[in-house]
Amino acid sequence: MIRTRRRILALVGALAATSALAACGSDSSAPGGDAGPPRPGGTLRYGLSQAPTCSDPAQAGTNQTLYVARQIVDSLTDQDPQTGRIEPWLARSWEISPDAKVFTFHLADGVTFSDGTPLTADSVRNTFDSVQRLGAVKSPLGASYLTNYVGTTVVDRLTARVEFSRPNAQFLQASSTTQLGILADATTAKPAEQRCLGDNIGSGPFTYAGWRQDQSATLAKRIGYHWGSAVFAHRGEAYLDGIEFTVVPESGVRTGSLVSGQLDAISDALPQDVPQLEAAGARLLTTVNPGVPFGLQANVTRGPLRDPAVRKALLPAIDRKQLVDTVLGPQFNAASGPLASTTPGFQDFSARLAYDPAAAKGILDQAGWVPGGDGIRAKNGERLSFSVLFSQAFAGNQAILELVQQQLRQVGVELKLDLVSSPESTARQNAKDFDITYYNTTRADGDILRSVFGVEGRNLNARERIPALDDALDGQLGAVDAAARTALIRTAQEQVLEAGLWIPTIELSQAIGAAANTRDLKFEASARLQFFDTWLSGR
């Protein structure tokens, strides 16, 4: 009986795999096309650009940490990077209550953690309870996904009911994230610091084999793994025997190591290194980070940016295409709204964000900002001048803002650049000590709008309540129906632009360099790497 069910599951899985593969298509094709069928074996050597901060999936925040932690942990669900749809993984099916407060997950049978213990509804409860205990300091993302978490009830061995005190429609997508991946009791019973030392136990296709903080992390294939997500392209175990992540901070050294065959894939390949990579037969895998693209967020309590007309005039004053063409290169896109184009629920506002300096001038003229002797406008003795707080978290930031500075000058706006270290930028953002700040945020769900712009969210605008916006942001959390939720998320995007809360510039892209022998290295829906389908040819 069990065998038949498994066979049916395998069949369903195979079908899902075929369709997923058909959907992916482009990113898995390698030059030459003579790769043949995937071959198991080999250890992939990967160069990270920064040290992972902690080995615990629940505490992972940065991309480089997630690239490692994602491989050792499975989540209840998976998100298809092509369609944005939520697909089965450890949970084969689920129900959501009409008020979006109760989520019931039916777990796959026969799943074990790498220490041999079985996956049960207790594991789900212990995992979520432990994320709640880690809290917003140790697991800022995990804790935010579990806002208003009441608890998890073990209905039976393989059924877990997760309850919230208020509607939380974003939780279904959150259940696909690395931070809410399901861990064994051996890990969830430990305190936060002890979960960072590289012995975390998950049910994922790889397990930790070595962890040296700030240096390297080694993963080994999990033998007997057969519960991959419906998004994966194949069934069974991973192809790679192992993955060796080494921290190589210098981008030139990463590129040189890839070209000279000392690494198989690298993080953060720089646009200027692309010719060198391509000359050596390597290629650049890119994907757009979902979430809120790069943009300017004004503190509406300070200086000329208090005037909504000034904020709205900035929208057509920026030539986004020029930013991409001049500074970044073809793997990047201009932003076309408050959400990046790969985020479910994204709406294209590119017409409204078209470069139109005359329109920007018109708005400012009408609002009474008159050009002064040096071309910079003023109103009632106040100069139309403000400074932008930013850090070099993304290498292109400074060059982009210098160009924005020139573009704004054309319409009579003075932008001063205030470059600080990442820690200082965070501190000043938290203290709301800036005129306008520049950054981006990754999340493959429209709920990121509530986190960033909600009056009870991070709200770096320091704004008061705007009913049309806040109703939409709160409303989408209660909307189980996908179409209704998308409509509310679209309203919210429109309201953010309408109030000039976000001046989008460019979409961040991940640029992974992959040697010719590295096949099918894929991005998951949140633009992080998934190595399950990856294989090595000709080594």
Partner 1 sequence: MARYVALRVLQAIWVLWAAFSISFVVLYLLPADPVSIAADGGGAGTPVDKAAIAELQARYGLDRPLWDQYTTALGNAIRGDLGLSISTGRPVTEAVAEAVPATLGLASLALLFATLGGVTLAFAATYTRKPWLRNLLAALPPLGVAVPTFWTGLLLLQVFSFHWRLAPAFGGQGLRGTVLPALTLAIPIGAVIAQVLAAGLESTWRQPFTEVALAKGASRWWVQRKHVARPASLPAFTIAGVLVGNLLAGSVVVETVFARAGVGRLTQTSVLAQDIPVVQGIVLLTSLVFVAVNLAVDLLYPLLDPRIAARGGRSGEATEAEDIAEEVLVRV
Q: Which residues would be at the binding site for partner 1 (CB under 8 A)?
A: 47, 51, 53-54, 59, 61-63, 65, 135-137, 139-141, 143-144, 192-194, 196, 212-216, 246-250, 252-253, 256-257, 259-262, 291-292, 393, 421-424, 426-428, 430, 439, 441-443, 448, 451-452, 456-459
* Least Cβ distance, residue 457 to partner 1 (angstroms): 6
- Cβ proximity to partner 1: between 4 and 260 the closer is 260
- Cβ proximity to partner 1: between 406 and 421 the closer is 421
Q: Count the Cβ atoms, other than its own, within 10 Å of residue 282.
A: 26
* Least Cβ distance, residue 286 to partner 1 (angstroms): 20
* Least Cβ distance, residue 319 to partner 1 (angstroms): 26
In terms of Cβ atoms closer than 10 Å to its own Cβ (0-12, 13-18, 19+), residue 472 is buried
Report the C-alpha gap between 63 and 67 in whole angstroms: 6
Coil vs helix vs strand at 48: strand
- Cβ proximity to partner 1: between 55 and 407 the closer is 55
Give how far Cα 44 sits from Cα of 36, 37, 73, 244, 400, Å: 19, 18, 19, 6, 35
* Least Cβ distance, residue 338 to partner 1 (angstroms): 12
* Least Cβ distance, residue 138 to partner 1 (angstroms): 8
Nearest CA to 128 among 152, 93, 111, 100? 152
* Least Cβ distance, residue 143 to partner 1 (angstroms): 7
Report the C-alpha gap between 206 and 267 in whole angstroms: 20
Report the C-alpha gap between 260 and 162 in whole angstroms: 50
* Least Cβ distance, residue 220 to partner 1 (angstroms): 19
- DSSP sequence for 297-354: EE-TTSGGGGSHHHHHHHHHH--HHHHIIIII-TT-EE--SSS-TTSTT----TTTT-
* Least Cβ distance, residue 185 to partner 1 (angstroms): 21
**Which is it for strands 414-419 and 382-383: parallel, antiparallel or unpaired?**
unpaired
Report the C-alpha gap between 413 and 375 in whole angstroms: 8
Number of H helices, E strands in the chain: 16, 27
* Least Cβ distance, residue 392 to partner 1 (angstroms): 11
- Cβ proximity to partner 1: between 54 and 335 the closer is 54
- Cβ proximity to partner 1: between 225 and 439 the closer is 439
- Cβ proximity to partner 1: between 25 and 423 the closer is 423
Coil vs helix vs strand at 488: helix
- Cβ proximity to partner 1: between 82 and 132 the closer is 132
- Cβ proximity to partner 1: between 206 and 439 the closer is 439
Q: Which two tokens stand for residue 235?
A: 């069934």
For residue 331, the Cα-to-chain-centroid distance in whole angstroms is 17
- Cβ proximity to partner 1: between 407 and 451 the closer is 451
Report the C-alpha gap between 20 and 318 in whole angstroms: 38
- Cβ proximity to partner 1: between 431 and 483 the closer is 431
Nearest CA to 451 among 502, 409, 521? 502
Report the C-alpha gap between 513 and 274 in whole angstroms: 9
* Least Cβ distance, residue 450 to partner 1 (angstroms): 10
